[in-house]
Structure 1
Amino acid sequence: MTDAGVRGPQPRRGTIHRMDNVAIVVDDLAAAVAFFVELGLELEGEATVEGSAVDRLVGLAGVRSDIAMMRTPDGHGRVELTRYQTPPSREGDPRAPTNTLGAHRIMFAVDDMDDILDRLRPHGAELIGELVQYENSYPLCYLRGPAGIAIALAEQTS
């Protein structure tokens, strides 16, 4: 008899390969796309989705939504922007504090924080707190993006 802990972990059949995307519901799809393009993401594609499979998947009846898939420059991360035509989107608190339960924020590594902030402000971006030098290592900030989502930016310094 052998001890599984001595041999190391056994392969599992149902494992995660990668995180594919994060979905964000917005009320103005074009403005959200423009914001994320300005941030540096690329528009991968747009589509309208509807039908019984979509209804069953998301647990709502009569779904018709427009989506835009945004891809990070490295090709590994994606943000799905969704605008519901039907049923209408439910209002959340777009100014919820960062300690609110649920999804907290999306973080992006950037190479020039000041340039990114200057480009995003005309698209409605507002700092949540301050731009700080985190533990003497790298600049970091939180800002509000489309639909009030919190976005963190970390400037790579090495």
Structure 2
Amino acid sequence: MGIRQLDHVGVIVSDLTAAVAFFVEFGLELEGRMTMESDLADRITAVGQAKSEIAMVRVPGGDGRLELIQYLTPESHPGDSHAPANTLGLRHLAFQVDDIEGVLDRVRPHGGTLVGEVVNYEDTFRLCYLRGPDGIIIELAEKIG
């Protein structure tokens, strides 16, 4: 028995409504939203007496999903929303898109900002990093040709 698929990536956010708005404008689809508060969840996460709001967003027509989680209790520990791309740990999410400029135009009003610049990678992809909610780094790749 082996791994069958990557089901989702969990991302802790400080404002679930703003994060959902950002990722929906980015191009993902809201799959559902719920409140989680249970002994079972506390035992899995080792976060005692937790209450969280969760939204699942997915790639349209695909299997890729993000689980956006805002802990209501206990209060989340702040991370470094300006951590550079070479900081240890889960550092970025990557998406192939049809139009980098279009995506950037849609997410800027929701706080999306370029980390560096849009570059041409060996005439195969246009690439960039952008920061989304809570400093999440998102890589965009637009195939050339």
TM-score using structure 1 length? 0.89
| Paired AA for residue 65 in structure 1 | S
Instruction: Specify every segment of 5 or more residues in structure 1 that has no aligned partner in the other structure, as ranges.
Output: 1-12
Checking the alignment, whether the CA contact within 8 Å between 2:33 and 2:53 is kept in structure 1 is yes
Specify every segment of 5 or more residues in structure 2 that has no aligned partner in the other structure, as ranges.
none
Instruction: Write the letter of the residue equivalent to 1:144.
Output: R
Residue 59 of structure 2 is aligned to residue 72 of structure 1: yes
**SS, match of residue 17 in structure 2:** helix
Q: Distance in 1 between matches of 2:76 and 2:7?
A: 23
Q: 2: CA distance between counterparts of 1:138 and 1:67?
A: 33
Equivalent residues in 2 for 1:1-158, closer than 5 Å: 13=1, 15-158=2-145
Contact 2:130 2:139 in 1 (8 A): yes
SS in 2 for 1:53: helix
**TM-superposition CA deviations, 1:61-90 (whole Å, max 9, x none):** 001000000010132100010000111010
- The AA in structure 2 aligned to 1:123 is H
**Structure with bigger gyration radius:** 1
Secondary structure at 1:116 match in 2: helix
Query: What is the root-mean-square deviation in Å for CA atoms of aligned residues?
Result: 0.8
Q: How far does residue 60 in structure 1 lie from its aligned partner after superposition? A: 1.0
Identity %: 53
Query: What is the alpha-carbon distance in structure 2 between the residues aligned to residue 105 and residue 53 of structure 1?
Result: 29
SS at match of 2:14: coil
Q: Secondary structure at the match of 2:18?
A: helix
Are the equivalent residues in 2 in contact too, given 1:35–1:123 (CA < 8 A)? yes
Deviation at 1:157, TM superposition (A): 2.9
C-alpha deviation, 1:130, in angstroms: 0.6
- The answer to whether the Cα contact below 8 Å between 2:9 and 2:65 also exists between their aligned partners in 1 is yes
Work out the number of aligned pairs and report it.
Answer: 145
- TM superposition outliers: structure 1 runs of 4+ over 6 Å: none
